[in-house]
Structure 1
């Protein structure tokens, strides 16, 4: 049986960071959502998040909201694992 990770699917992840938990979503190269999950904002959660994304296919890119505060630890782990990351700007709350 072929798993998603073995089928050559390219994955882009997106992470919304918060103090206690990070919410991650995964998209394939056609923009279809493959799933979303929540992980603890702690080293064990960062590793679980990365393992989940990798289980879905070939991880190409991860966008992280808030790499300067709650996303710092996750961004550091992804950099150590040579995962390409981009910082996603938080929307201006006054403009919403």
Structure 2
């Protein structure tokens, strides 16, 4: 599963995926909440950049690096995502031809 970033659709990527029996599934356009990395970018922005006025790029980099170190110490695997979602346990037939 990937977003619609341009390089994901390049011919080399499609060729490699076909050769390795991989199907890329793209998230819908304008749906960043479906992409885990977007949540991480939002957190970095919220905790390090919102309301900030760093005196230098070095100070800004230090704040971002500090947040990332903290985040990595307190991270947990993303499991049990949408446990009760119909997407995991559908009680209906897929709508396919």
Q: Name the TM tier (shorter chain).
A: under 0.3
The structure with the greater share of residues assigned to helix is: 2
Larger radius of gyration: 2
The structure with the greater share of residues assigned to strand is: 1
Structure of greater relative contact order (alpha carbons < 8 Å, 6+ residues apart): 1
TM-score by length of 2: 0.22
